[in-house]
Amino acid sequence: MIVTSLSEPKPLEMNRTIAFRLIIFSLMLLISASLPAQTPQYNRNALTVLMLDAGDVNAKPLMKLVDSIKIPDKFFDHQLSTKVLPLPDGRRSLMMRDTAKKIFTTASLERLLTTNRVPNEMVAKWFSRKPDGTFGVELLSERGLYNANDDAALVAAASKRGTAALMDLGMGLVDRSYLLVLDFPRLITMEQLYERDSTPAEQRIMNGYVGTMNAYVFKLDFGEQEAAAFFENLWVNSDSPDKAARVKAFDSYDFKIKPVSVFTEELSATQLNPGQKFAPKQQRTSAQLLQSMFDGGFNNVILRLEGAQDEFRVKAMIHDTKPIAIKIGRKEGLKFDQRYFVFENRQDHHGNVYKSRRGVIRAMSVADNRNMATGETTPSYFYQIAGGKIDAEGMFAEQKNSSGFNLLLGYASGGLGGGYARMDIMISPILYEVFGGGKIRKGMTAWKIWLEGALNYDTAEPQFVADDYVFYRGGFGLSKEIFLLRNLFVEPSAGYLFERANPTGDVAYYYTSQHMAFDVRLGLNITYRLQLMPALHYYIPVSTSYFLTKDTKPVKLKFEEEFDERTGPGFGLGLRFMF
């Protein structure tokens, strides 16, 4: 029978067990500190979310949403019984750092949290505190096992203690506990906004909510000194001789939290009123709109945390290269087509270790690894979109989120020529969730919908009036990138365009036309986020109309007879910026 160092101690062994735990904890900190900062280590963070209730006008329905918070898979769900903190005197209860944005000082908020024993409750949950004040290690052990990767599992399996060694790793996770405090200093309905701004009745066309969310991030301080104080003075066994004193000591102890970040998000969830053009047939309820706004704000804060804080970004070693394989998946919050950078540790002439980016990759499968590591975890697979050769001999990947939006600026001659701007929106992650089935889906990668606008000044000679015209064009479509080499791809696309031709003079007539659009672009990386993109365009006219004035009936025409100089293939060149 294997006995873990995290098992419940017996009375006579209590001092020895506490000392042993301190030694284990100290060793883990020393080992961690001795590793270079660039060593790819990723341990799961625990996340607790609270909301502040200042008694605002729309606070009541908002506070109900706290129970709907879904902690992302990459975090340990560390939700507490305390989920809402009331501010007895409203916003006057705390000091303001920014009066205009109604941002509190972190020091005053820290005092509020400490006074309400929130850090104590976080520690109590980690150590499975019972109603009588005694502690256990059930949750700690469970999370230590779940957090372990394949390397740790293989090392543990080869040791005498086996998986029991993995349970001890849970001790080091306590110091990775984060507290996210959400406050909505401005939240009003569109009706309230219209009333406030005295908006004319004919302009009151929307319903829903607009508001501001301030998010405060704190980290529980459970380093070596705090751990020592906890085990020596606060740990309670069922048979502790000074149990009552220790229980009271824990309840009155002030565990420390440290401010990490403050974010402000401008939020809205609105819809057109019934009867308005383009209004949804089925109106969303107020509760649905509020939920949508809340979820959007919460998800944006998580994304900003991942961008701003190194400890929130997933890191893992390259496991294989044909194809690129990394042993991460849903447990780490991996998404299909999510971007990662590949780094390699290097050393300068002073002996300092630094990480050098070697490539950029995206996920083309997402393994469901939400279980305990066994040493044979199925990896997720990636394809390369930029950089040099990647190998599995010391290179590692680090999460670097992208927005999923690209902007292409270019000029085309021939066909429907002119300057154009195209916005790409990545939809492949949605396709994978619906049709992917957890398998490698290279064919689903890099699918995008695009929206395009174009402008061209040209002379044309249609049958009615030869003149100088301004051609305005807009359209939408689908495209997909197909990588031929690490830094070279081809992008076929198809779409539908609407064009209007206005004479440059002070006249009322104009032409409209609609076209099916097909093009093939070649993408050549200048950097990982900037590409040179020559293109071949071809357009098929669908309909053309002439309007003497906007109030007259259109005259149907043939595009190729009216604007023959704007038919045939076109060639373009553009620069694409990836965000």
Identify the burial level of 466 via C-beta atoms within 10 angstroms of its C-beta, where 0-12 means exposed, 13-18 middle and 19 or more buried: exposed
pLDDT at 240 (0 to 100): 84
Residue 36 has pLDDT above 50, yes or no: no
Q: Which residue has the higher pLDDT, 415 or 37?
A: 415
**Phi and psi at residue 476, in whole multiples of 5°?**
-150, 165
The model's pLDDT over 239-296, given as tens digits with 9 standing for 90+, comes to 888 999 999 999 999 999 999 999 999 999 999 999 999 999 999 999 999 999 999 9
Phi, psi of 549 (to 5 degrees): -140, 170
Mean pLDDT of 452-477: 84
Two structure tokens written together for 138? 């059930």
Lowest-pLDDT range, 314-318, 438-442, 543-547? Answer: 438-442
User: Residue 157 has what pLDDT?
Assistant: 60
Alpha-carbon gap, residue 465 to 447, rounded angstroms: 42
Instruction: Supply the DSSP string of 346-391, one letter for each residue.
Output: EE-TTS-EEEEEEEEEEES--B---S---S-PPPEEEEEEEES---
pLDDT tens-digit map of 556-578: 888 888 888 888 899 999 999 99
Sign of CA dihedral 238, 240, 246, 248: positive
Q: In the prediction, which pLDDT does 2 show?
A: 32
Q: What is the mean pLDDT of residues 52-73?
A: 89
Least confident of 2-11, 318-327, 526-535: 2-11
Distance, CA of 426 to CA of 406 (rounded, Å): 9
Structure confidence at residue 162 (pLDDT): 58
Q: Is the pLDDT of residue 438 over 80?
A: no
Q: How confident is the model at residue 437 (pLDDT cuts 50, 70, 90)?
A: confident
Asked whether residue 12 carries a pLDDT value surpassing 50, the answer given is no
What local confidence, expressed as pLDDT, does residue 399 receive?
96
Mean of pLDDT values over 343-365: 93
Average pLDDT (90-116) is: 92
Q: Position of tokens 């293939």?
A: 569
DSSP 367: B
Helix (H) or strand (E) holding 542: strand 530-547
- Please give the Cα distance from 267 to 262 (Å, whole number): 16
Q: Which residue has the higher pLDDT, 196 or 507?
A: 196
**Mean per-residue pLDDT over the chain, rounded:** 88
pLDDT given at position 17: 52
At residue 146, the pLDDT reads 87
What mean pLDDT do residues 526-539 have?
Answer: 97
Q: What is the pLDDT of residue 29?
A: 47
Q: What pLDDT does 8 receive?
A: 46
pLDDT for residue 463 = 62
Split at pLDDT 50, 70, 90, the class of 148 is confident
Question: Of the candidates 306, 305, 315, which has an alpha carbon nearest to the alpha carbon of residue 261?
Answer: 305
Lowest mean pLDDT among 25-29, 317-321, 412-416: 25-29
Extended beta strands in 87-176, E state: 96-98, 103-104
Say what the pLDDT of residue 465 is.
62
pLDDT at residue 34 is higher than 50: no
